[in-house]
Structure 1
Amino acid sequence: MLDSHIIVNLVYLVAAVMFIFGLKMMAHPRTAVRGNLISSIAMLIAVVVTSYLIFADGGASWVGWLLIAVGLVIGSGIGIFLAVKVEMKQMPQLVALFNGLGGGASVFVAGAELLGLTDARATADVMLAIGISGLIGTVTFWGSLVAFGKLQEIEIFEKPLPIPAPQAFNAVLAVVLLILVAVMASTGMGWPFIFVFICATALGFTLVMPIGGADMPVVIALLNSYSGLAAAATGFVIDNNVLIISGSLVGASGIILTQIMCKAMNRSLINVLFGTMQAGGGTFGSDDELYANVRSTSADDIAMILDNAQRVVFVPGYGLAVAQAQHAVRDLANLLKDKGATVEYAIHPVAGRMPGHMNVLLAEADVPYDQLKEMDEINPTMGQVDVAIVIGANDVVNPLANTDPNSPIAGMPIIEVDKARTVIVIKRSLSPGFAKIPNPLFAAENTLMFFADGKKAVLDIVSAVKDL
């Protein structure tokens, strides 16, 4: 008969393969839901089999089993509650919390293993894995909480750090942490773990606090990678193959996604982590001067413009999420398609506050996947668009990226809506985006501003189109 550990490892292999296929399927909107389900089932299998392994090795009494069962029930209950109650506009905050909880779980597991570690198990590789798990997991936990606070616009997280040279301070902390981990690995002593936790806590705050809101999509992707790396390190601590594989998958995919986000913003990862996106010198004077020629419009006027349009492109941004306007936009798009217009959605990689934010919102409203066009696909034909409707987007359509070399977003790829025949921008006001810089698109000759809440504005346009 096969040894129980062989069976467990075979089941782990099945779970790992399911993780890989699930992750692959999540790369495309058509299969993302199925991929998420497959990955969730794989995680459930991994948890159940790991629990069995603990019992088979005599490491769990009935109290241990009870704690495992309680943990599953409470965790599942919280997950179901959040999945049902959290609004789509709060999804970035939820992702940030998930990243943090993943890092925190790694710290607890590594710490618990350290407490029960025997001298025979306190080898250099195990102690190194414990130290790395504690370091990365702690940074991930506190960094994710700061990211959550910034996304939630909690005032305390918007204030600058009271540290004269935060970059130098971070460098010193990083060196100290590496020394502490090296001490753990070389001596087999566990006491440095406490100081790893303390220093990593400080580093988690000081790393993320200075980063501006415009860089949050990159930060979330990076913290997601950190949580995976912490999990992989913890897998080495407890000798769990599926945790090593799944953590490595998350870590690698997070790094790849971070690179994609940086490329979409024309910024290096070093610049994101150690720089800030500040309003810089531009070719314009005051905002009053820049916006002197802004023209506002109404729902009735927009309806008449759309009545003659053959090709309409919607450009969603974070304002769409805040207003929960995705269903109203879908209804307007359906009306326009019924009138014979071609309707598309231009998706910028960093639109919103997390990677794929706009894709998720539009998928929730059952927008056909083939209508979602990536920036590189839509830009070459923007000059052929009759009407481009920008809803809540700002920095990702700001032409200063192409025209002002002194702008903080200079060189950042944008959706070039300014090339469309008519641009309609739906915003509450002329306020700047995350980058805190003005947008000359609002005053362009081919632009009309519709000042209103995103959802109300689109609903008014729907009514006006129906009345034609």
Structure 2
Amino acid sequence: MQISDNWIDIAYLISAVLFVLGIKGLTKPKTAVRGNLLAASGMGVACVVTLLHRDIVTYEIIIGGVIVGGIIGAILAKKVQMTAMPQLVALLNGFGGGASFAVAGAEFFRGGHPDTVGIIATGIAVLIGAVTLTGSFVAFAKLQELIDGKPMGFPGMKLVNAILLLGSVAAIAYLVMNPGVEPVFWGLAIAAAILGILLVSPIGGADMPVVIALLNSYSGIAASAAGFVMGNSALIVTGSLVGASGLILTQIMCKAMNRSLTNVLFGVMAEAGEAMDQDEVYEGKIKSTSAEEVAMVLETAQRVVIVPGFGLAMAQAQHAVREMADTLEGMGVEVEYAIHPVAGRMPGHMNVLLAEAEVSYDKLKDMDTINPTFEQTDVAIVLGANDVT
């Protein structure tokens, strides 16, 4: 069954509107569920219409892929702990980039005579898709502690990155003039894959939220380029939305961390501080206590602000923090949470953790909202949020 191009375009327009409304809904916790449903509905419309319009593969393969993917997704949703959510997000970004790379590669090896725009789009999808794939895998390995989370590099890395980037652009230009040259295509893919590794390797764990936001943007741009390759307007719109929103989020996070977006784009982050032994820092200074005891110490305060960070996630202390806050509020103390844009290991990490502990959304305040109120705050409790200066 196939439908006319006019109906296809109308359906894609509807899906694009649903995507925009979905993103709008995700801007507020209270409307986040509705936003997710709207965006998912938009994707459902786009997928169904595409399957009715494009006879690319048999439905048996499609159904098999849906079943396998659904099983894997269900297992991940059940097994992955909340503390491992940043790693999962990094992997999903990588899979998105890899999918765009695969689509562009399939179109390239299918042959034919694509126009100049199609060849350029293929090259961009391969370049950004491969960078996103390998860069996301490095981010995952750092977060999962499969490799050292500290910044890694070597003398002349910036020069090597520049050479790889210029070489990739040159390869795309060569393919425009000489379409179908397979060695150049593979050279582009390999250079882009190495570039992705080298861009993320010098970035430490504390800066990972910025990297994940940027890789998310890359995956959207790669998807948009793949849309140009396939002539799929829904993919172009969706990829553009993801790419733009990810880049805006990255800019917001860079500003909050006093980082330059240019440095992030080219894998240059802040210099690591002097390493110190944990015993040297904490020995003899740590005392075990309970949420109730801390609340009793703070009972004379009128306003308390809690500043959570990655240590809260690692210790799974969000429930204890909520218990302490409940005890304080029972004593008449006002309690709010100051959420830094880069707290944790992914964008929104602290919001997710505190929501899991059933902390009310209206108590979570962003940096711009909470900063002017600290003058009226009696006590600020910093919980595991001391790894970014």
Q: Same fold (TM over 0.5)?
A: yes
Aligned to 2:66: 72
Q: Aligned ranges for residues 135-174 of structure 1 at < 5 Å?
A: 135-155=127-147, 158=150, 160-161=152-153, 163-174=154-165
Runs of 5+ in structure 2 lacking a partner?
Answer: none
Deviations 1:284-328 (A, max 9, x none): x99999989968574475343122222222111111111222222
Aligned to 2:9: 9
Q: Distance in 1 between matches of 2:387 and 2:149?
A: 22
Identity of aligned residues (%): 54
How many pairs does the alignment contain? 385
| Alignment partner of 1:207 out of 196, 199, 205 | 199
Taking a change above 3 Å as real, the CA distance of residues 232 and 289 of structure 1, as seen in their structure-2 partners, is: closer
Q: State whether residues 114 and 190 of structure 1, in contact with CA within 8 Å, keep that contact through their aligned partners in structure 2.
A: no
Q: Distance in 2 between matches of 1:96 and 1:297?
A: 35
Q: State whether residues 128 and 222 of structure 2, in contact with CA within 8 Å, keep that contact through their aligned partners in structure 1.
A: yes
Which deviates the most, 149-158 or 311-320? 149-158
Aligned to 2:88: 94
Q: Distance in 1 between matches of 2:164 and 2:310?
A: 35
Give the deviation of 1:95 after TM superposition.
Answer: 0.8
Runs of 5+ in structure 1 lacking a partner?
Answer: 397-408, 410-468
Give the deviation of 1:391 after TM superposition.
Answer: 1.8
Q: Distance in 2 between matches of 1:317 and 1:200?
A: 34
| Alignment partner of 1:236 out of 203, 211, 228 | 228
Give the deviation of 1:18 after TM superposition.
Answer: 0.5
Aligned to 1:455: none
Taking a change above 3 Å as real, the CA distance of residues 383 and 296 of structure 1, as seen in their structure-2 partners, is: farther
Which deviates the most, 193-202 or 166-175? 193-202
Q: Distance in 2 between matches of 1:199 and 1:290?
A: 43
Taking a change above 3 Å as real, the CA distance of residues 41 and 288 of structure 1, as seen in their structure-2 partners, is: closer
Aligned to 1:188: 179
- Determine which structure has more spread, i.e. the larger CA radius of gyration: 1
Which deviates the most, 181-190 or 98-107? 181-190
Q: What is the letter of the counterpart of residue 50 of structure 1?
A: T
Q: State whether residues 51 and 68 of structure 1, in contact with CA within 8 Å, keep that contact through their aligned partners in structure 2.
A: no
Is 2:321 the counterpart of 1:329?
yes
Taking a change above 3 Å as real, the CA distance of residues 274 and 137 of structure 1, as seen in their structure-2 partners, is: closer
Q: What is the letter of the counterpart of residue 352 of structure 2?
A: V
Helix, strand or coil at the partner of 1:395? coil
Q: Distance in 1 between matches of 2:247 and 2:364?
A: 24
Give the deviation of 1:275 after TM superposition.
Answer: 2.8
Is 2:237 the counterpart of 1:245?
yes
Give the deviation of 1:158 after TM superposition.
Answer: 4.7
Give the deviation of 1:366 after TM superposition.
Answer: 2.1
Deviations 1:219-253 (A, max 9, x none): 11110010000000000000001000000000000
Is 2:169 the counterpart of 1:178?
yes
RMSD across aligned positions (CA): 2.5
Aligned to 2:124: 132
Which deviates the most, 376-385 or 237-246? 376-385
Taking a change above 3 Å as real, the CA distance of residues 346 and 130 of structure 1, as seen in their structure-2 partners, is: same
Q: Distance in 2 between matches of 1:54 and 1:18?
A: 22
Q: Distance in 2 between matches of 1:135 and 1:289?
A: 45
Is 2:297 the counterpart of 1:318?
no
Aligned to 1:266: 258
